Amino acid sequence: MSKQPTSKKKFRRWRYIIDWRQQMGFTVEIVAVLCGVCVIYSVGVHYLLGNETLFQVSIDRFREVVLRVNAVYLAVSSGIFSLMAIGLTHRFVGPAFNMRRALKAMIKGDLSRKVHLRKRDYLKDLAAEINTLRDTLVEQQQVVRDLDRCLQEKDFDAARELVTRLKMEAPDAKADEGEKADAAEEAKEPAETTSAAS
């Protein structure tokens, strides 16, 4: 019985709209600013072309005025877009900075730092997961302290219960369960393709 070569699937992100509310909010803000800048330019052009004295000057003078108007428009729109970009990217960069700082503190053993985000910040779900991880580590530290106390008091039954509790909460146990579930899914896939072929 020949084994079929198993090829690992290359990860591709097919869905570009992952968080509809946040992505659409971000897009609407960009489009709104772009429309506002276009309206400003349209008003400027309308005012410029409505000035009849402008058409009485030479073509060189007309070109100079148009270039100056475009230069002012470019400067104003660049400033507006720069401020908007700083404001919008801060909603991503600020939370990422806070999360990185909290994770570095956790690595050093300081579990006192929680991730706090502002009302309009993005990545709130990820911040909540980091806070959950922090709470789990705090609980595990408490169990270890209780275990140390039980061992010093030679209360081995309570120590065994705490060790069992630690094993149940350990990330390795959860990872093993996840690996078993993945292996079960992979085992189902060849069976399904074989039944489909027959």
Query: Is 54 within a domain?
Result: yes
Q: Which amino acid is at 25?
A: G
Quick check: 106 and 137 in contact, CB under 8 A? yes
Quick check: 147 and 159 in contact, CB under 8 A? yes
Domain around 57: 20-184
Query: Is 197 within a domain?
Result: no
- Give the span between the Cα atoms of 125 and 113, in whole angstroms: 17
Instruction: Give Cα 120 to chain centroid, integer Å.
Output: 13
Query: Is 13 within a domain?
Result: no
Task: Dump pLDDT digits (tens) for 100-137.
Answer: 988 898 888 888 888 888 887 888 888 889 999 898 88
Integer Rg of the chain from CA = 31
Q: How many domains does the chain have?
A: 1
Q: Which residues contact 117 (CB under 8 A, 6 or more apart)?
A: 94, 95, 98, 123, 124, 127
Query: Is 10 within a domain?
Result: no
Task: Dump pLDDT digits (tens) for 11-55.
Answer: 566 667 777 777 788 888 888 888 888 888 888 777 777 777 666
Query: Is 90 within a domain?
Result: yes
Quick check: 150 and 159 in contact, CB under 8 A? yes
Query: Is 12 within a domain?
Result: no
Query: Is 149 within a domain?
Result: yes
Provide the mean pLDDT of the chain: 76
Query: Is 198 within a domain?
Result: no
